[in-house]
């Protein structure tokens, strides 16, 4: 359904009131703690001391001097947060009172306001099976409201999902280290797993990647409601399904379970911290859990 400009502005204002409050009450402080040390510039090398993080050991200097040395960093005054947002057709699905798009929009807004409260820049990449829009990182409330407005009213050209595209784009456009949140259902329709693995590896080597996976409960299991027509939002393919059959429902659930397992394995393999958020769940709880594990 077409949204009028007034409808969009009303939704932006409503989202701002809700998510700005959440960012202030819940994530202020936690955001900085979770990403402290992620935006650091190299300062010097010194000898290892008891209690130092072994991940900071400089193995080249250690080998030359025969004594363990670590790299010392100093925190950069300004960090950058990038939001990689899935705007493919599957985001418009929702069997509860919220579409996946609504949940993704609110989470993106909370993260953006959290960054703003720490005086960090926020940028955004919208993607489907292509790069749909790039919003360069900037500071300020008006910039974040512009991002939210785009999240609410943006109409993509593509319908499919190709996650390797925004990851490659991020690597090319952001030379400086940044924290990047990928907000998606991760249902990649490109069938090019190798390209995605390569893109994750390269982007993850330069940036701090965090996955926020949003899904709808009906994607995980079918209800027993007789014969229904199912339609793939991204390919347009339709199929009639007898949901009264236990075997059909079990096959559907098992297919989803295997696909979810593949996604989780891929993200874990690339050392990407991830939160999984159902559309009928509380994303605040999942975000706090994610922030605490970092």
Q: Is the pLDDT of residue 226 over 60?
A: yes
pLDDT one-digit tens code per residue, 35-94: 655 555 556 788 888 777 787 888 888 898 888 988 776 555 568 999 999 999 888 877
CA 78 to chain centre: 21
Mean pLDDT, residues 286-294 taken together: 83
pLDDT at 275: 93
Q: Is the pLDDT of residue 28 over 70?
A: no
Measure the N-to-C terminal CA separation of the chain; round to a whole number of Å.
Answer: 40
Q: Is the pLDDT of residue 30 over 70?
A: no
pLDDT at 173: 93
Q: Is the pLDDT of residue 199 over 90?
A: yes
pLDDT at 77: 56
Query: How far are the Cα atoms of 98, 222, 265 from residue 217, in angstroms, in the given order?
Result: 11, 9, 21
Do the Cβ atoms of 223 and 243 come closer than 8 Å?
A: yes
DSSP string of the chain? -PPPHHHHHHHHHHHHHHHHHHIIIIITTHHHHHHTTTSEEEEEEEE--TT--GGGB-HHHHHHHSS-EEEEEEE-S--EEEEEEE-SGGGG--SSSS-HHHHHHHHHHHHHHHHHHTT-EEEEEEESSSEEEEEEEE-SHHHHHHHHHHHHH---S--S--THHHHHHHHHH--S--EEEEEE-----S--HHHHHHHHHHHHHHSEEEEEEEE-HHHH-----SEEEEE-TTT--EEEEETT-HHHHHHHHHHHHHHHHHHHHHHHHTT-EEEEEETTS-HHHHHHHHHHH-
pLDDT one-digit tens code per residue, 144-174: 999 999 999 999 999 899 999 999 999 999 8
**C-alpha closest to that of 179 among 132, 135, 136, 211:** 211
pLDDT at 43: 63
Is 0.85 surpassed by the pTM of this model?
no
Angle, to 10 degrees, between the axis of helix 193-206 and the axis of helix 164-173?
30
Instruction: Read off the pLDDT band of 137 (50, 70, 90).
Output: very high
pLDDT at 188: 85
Q: Which domains does the chain have, with CATH numbers?
A: 5-33+77-293 (3.40.50.410), 42-75 (no CATH)
pLDDT at 75: 54
**CA 95 to CA 119: how far, in whole Å?**
37
Q: Is the pLDDT of residue 213 over 90?
A: yes
pLDDT at 24: 79
pLDDT one-digit tens code per residue, 90-115: 888 777 778 999 999 999 999 999 88
Mean pLDDT, residues 170-190 taken together: 90
Q: Which of 17-26, 38-47, 262-271, 275-284 has the lowest mean pLDDT?
A: 38-47
CA 152 to chain centre: 17
Residue with tokens 């959290």: 114
Q: Is the pLDDT of residue 127 over 70?
A: yes
């Amino acid at each position: 359904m077409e949204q009028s400009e007034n409808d969009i502005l009303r939704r932006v204002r409503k989202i701002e009131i809700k998510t700005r409050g959440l960012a202030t009450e819940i994530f202020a402080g936690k955001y900085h703690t979770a990403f402290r040390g992620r935006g650091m510039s190299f300062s010097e090398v010194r000898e290892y001391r008891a209690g130092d993080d072994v991940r900071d050991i400089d193995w080249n200097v250690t080998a030359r001097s025969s004594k363990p040395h670590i790299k010392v960093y100093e925190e950069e005054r300004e960090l950058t947060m990038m939001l990689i947002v899935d705007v493919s057709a599957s985001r418009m699905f929702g069997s509860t009172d919220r579409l996946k798009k609504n949940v993704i929009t609110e989470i993106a807004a909370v993260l953006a306001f959290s960054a703003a409260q720490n005086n960090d820049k926020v940028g955004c990449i919208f993607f489907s099976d292509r790069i749909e829009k790039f919003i360069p990182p900037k500071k300020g409330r008006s910039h974040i409201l512009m991002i939210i407005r785009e999240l609410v009213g943006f109409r993509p050209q593509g319908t499919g999902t190709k996650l390797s595209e925004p990851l490659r784009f991020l690597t090319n456009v952001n030379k400086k280290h940044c924290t990047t949140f990928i907000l998606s259902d991760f249902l990649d329709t490109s069938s090019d797993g190798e390209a995605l693995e390569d893109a994750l590896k390269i982007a993850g080597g330069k940036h701090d990647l965090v996955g926020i996976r949003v899904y709808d409960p009906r994607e995980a299991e079918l209800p027993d409601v007789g014969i229904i027509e199912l339609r793939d939002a991204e390919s347009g393919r339709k199929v009639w399904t007898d949901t009264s059959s236990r075997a059909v429902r079990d096959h559907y659930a098992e297919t989803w379970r295997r696909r979810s397992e593949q996604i989780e394995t891929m993200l874990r393999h690339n050392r990407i911290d991830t939160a999984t958020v159902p559309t009928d769940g509380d994303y605040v709880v999942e975000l706090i859990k994610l922030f605490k594990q970092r």
